Structure formats: C-alpha cells, structure tokens
Structure 1
C-alpha cells in the first residue's frame, strides 16, 4: 500500500494541470473538502490541495504546448537526472528535463513508450504528499496502456519495479500490481496497477494514461457530488469483489480520476 515513508519508485506527489485553477479548486473542494493554498507569486499560479492543513495534491495552469487537463503521478527518485537518462535509453521521452523547484526538490516529466505521461520528484525540503491512504486522499495509482508488455518492461528498467499478476474474473483482462524494488511482499507493498486497454477501448481512441484513485467513505455519495458539479461518468459506482466499490469520472476539465471505498473484508 501507499505510504508517506517514501522509497524509490513509489508515488510521492500528484498534481493537476488545468486551464482554470480557481474553478478546479472550487470543484475539488466541493467533492473532497479540499482547500487550496497558493504557492505565492513566484509559483506561477501553482498551489496545493490540502486536507486539514496537510497536502494531498497540487494544481497549476497548463504550461506545455498542446497539453490537455490531466492528473500527473510523480514517483520518488533520489536521482532525477539518472531517471531521465534511463527513460531515454528505454524508449521514453523527456518532456521536461530535470530542474530544481526552488529548494523544495528536483523534478522531471516524461512520456513512456506507449504514450503515458508521468513525472519524478527528487525530494528536497518537500518530501512528498503529507497524507495518503485516508478518505479523500490518494490511495492507488493505475496505468491504462495500449501495450502492457512494453510498459512493464519500460518501468521495470527505469524504476526496478516488481510485478504480480492478479485475477480479474473469468475472461477478464490481466491486471498487474506494481511494487517498489525494495518490497519483500509485492501484494502487500503494491502502490499501483497496470492494465491493458481492451480492443473496444483502442477502437474508440483511448490512449495510455496514468490516473489516481482517491479513497472515500461513501463511493456513491462522492460520485454524486462530483457529477452534480460537472464531472462526466466513465463508469458509475460498482462493486469489485475483494477490492471494494469504485467509480471513475472525468472532472469538468477532462482530467480522469477514480474513487474507491475499500472492501472491509480485505486485511
């Protein structure tokens, strides 16, 4: 599971790129009860989503040419420059080269060989998110990919991730859970999953994408709050045996996120 005791390869930051940060703050405040704290004049419109004064994510204006609204998952690294070299050597693309963010840390942004965007955070003064694995905070990350074999090879090379295949039911697609290289138990230490997009998704134009799951106390109520505020449905609340009740939406700007209320029978 996710933890704020960050190790290399584990998710340690999350931010949202949108054309209207104020409108995004209003939407997510209504859905999750988050407040928004500006990073100040030097932050270029960037700021932090907070829950009870603790950072659960961030948001800022779109800065890359052609960028569309989306959540970006960051993974911990002690060496952002080394990751950039590994990404290029493994067929990925460096979108934003490694650079210091004042004294907070060092970041870089990439695209994997299947087209999914992600980033890394090398901690300085800011170690990462203050809260995970609590209601209204990040609890899982997931990659939908056009080529799961290529994606798994790439991330194994870049982050030394460990994988474990999980059943998804009769005739369902393979689901691979992901854990850091240091994990002694992949399932117990897993922080995300990788799933191959199905042919009907590919035919409809779906591409590779990382997206966050936020834990909630009531999936149906939070889904209703999101859709009432302009989110559009990708799939409505549904029960997944052994996992929990989940839903997935696009926020009013088009950024994808999911909701999950864990199965209480799971340890």
Structure 2
C-alpha cells in the first residue's frame, strides 16, 4: 500500500472511512469523485485502498457487526502525521486528551493510534515506517 512520503508532522496526511456497507460506499465515491478501490491485506484482515487517478486518498474498512448493532455510523477518521507516535500519544494525554487505541503497527505501512481531544473529537495519529 502506498503511504504518505513523509510524516509531515502536525499536518493531516491520511483518511480512513469506517463503512457499514463497503460496496455501497465504493459505488458512491466512484460516482461522486471517480475514486477506484483496491483490496489490500494487513494484520490478518483486509481494507480497501481508495485512489483518485494514481494518487492515494485514503482507505476504507468495514464496521464490525457489533459496531453496527451498537449504532456506530459510518464515519471518516483523519490522521495527523507525527515523528514519534509514542511521544505524540503522551503529549495528547498530557494536554487532557485520551488514547482510545494505543499505538500499533499496520504491517509494512505505519504505526497508528486513535485519540480524542478534550472535546471528544476523534483523531488518528500516523507515524510512517521507514522505507526499505
């Protein structure tokens, strides 16, 4: 999977769509913006890479049955680039935010985490992995 070229600390660099119906979402974004979708595999599961022409615009994954049953709606999560995800997570917590999903690696792509600010707004953190 192509990823942002550099972490660009403090800037939005990626977007994930958690979708209740990935096929319907793929159709919508294909018609609305001409995006194409390719299934990718990581961490024992799958996600869908979204592209505009040859440029990645983000990715999509299916909400779990449990999430849908609990009324979690389809939603986008923006990611901010960080140089060190552990340090960035500590800064979020020191500022009064909460780590919702502790940092973990998406195989061969990045280390990511989900955090909430002091108002409860959810944001992703993205530390690019070194290119080999």
TM-score range, shorter chain: 0.7 to 0.9
Query: Quick one: which of 235, 246, 258 aligns to 2:124?
Result: 258
**Offset at residue 259 of structure 1 (A):** 0.5
Q: Deviation above 3 Å: which 4+ runs of structure 1?
A: none
- C-alpha distance in 2, partners of 1:232/1:138? 19
- The residue aligned with 1:152 is 26
Point out the structure with the larger strand share.
2
For structure 2, the 5+ residue unaligned runs are none
Q: Does 1:240 align with 2:106?
A: yes
Q: TM-score, normalised by structure 1?
A: 0.45
The number of equivalent residue pairs is 130
Q: Does 1:218 align with 2:92?
A: no
- Closer, same or farther in 2 for the Cα pair 1:218/1:169, shift >3 Å? closer
Query: Quick one: which of 2, 5, 8 aligns to 1:134?
Result: 8
**Offset at residue 204 of structure 1 (A):** 3.2
Larger Rg: 1
Matches within 5 A, 1:111-190: 134-170=8-44, 172=45, 174-180=46-52, 182-183=53-54, 189-190=55-56
Root mean square deviation of aligned Cα: 2.0
- Closer, same or farther in 2 for the Cα pair 1:139/1:159, shift >3 Å? same
| Superimposed CA distance per residue, residues 155-205 of structure 1 (whole angstroms, 9 cap, x where no aligned partner) | 1000010111101233x2x3111111x32xxxxx21200111112222333
**Offset at residue 145 of structure 1 (A):** 1.1
Structure 2 SS opposite 1:152:
helix
- Closer, same or farther in 2 for the Cα pair 1:260/1:155, shift >3 Å? same
Structure 2 SS opposite 1:167:
strand
Matches within 5 A, 1:83-122: none
Q: TM-score, normalised by structure 2?
A: 0.88
**Offset at residue 2 of structure 1 (A):** 6.2
- C-alpha distance in 1, partners of 2:88/2:103? 10
**Offset at residue 133 of structure 1 (A):** 5.4
Query: Quick one: which of 186, 193, 197 aligns to 2:59?
Result: 193
For structure 1, the 5+ residue unaligned runs are 4-131, 184-188
**Offset at residue 240 of structure 1 (A):** 2.1
Structure 1 SS opposite 2:9:
coil
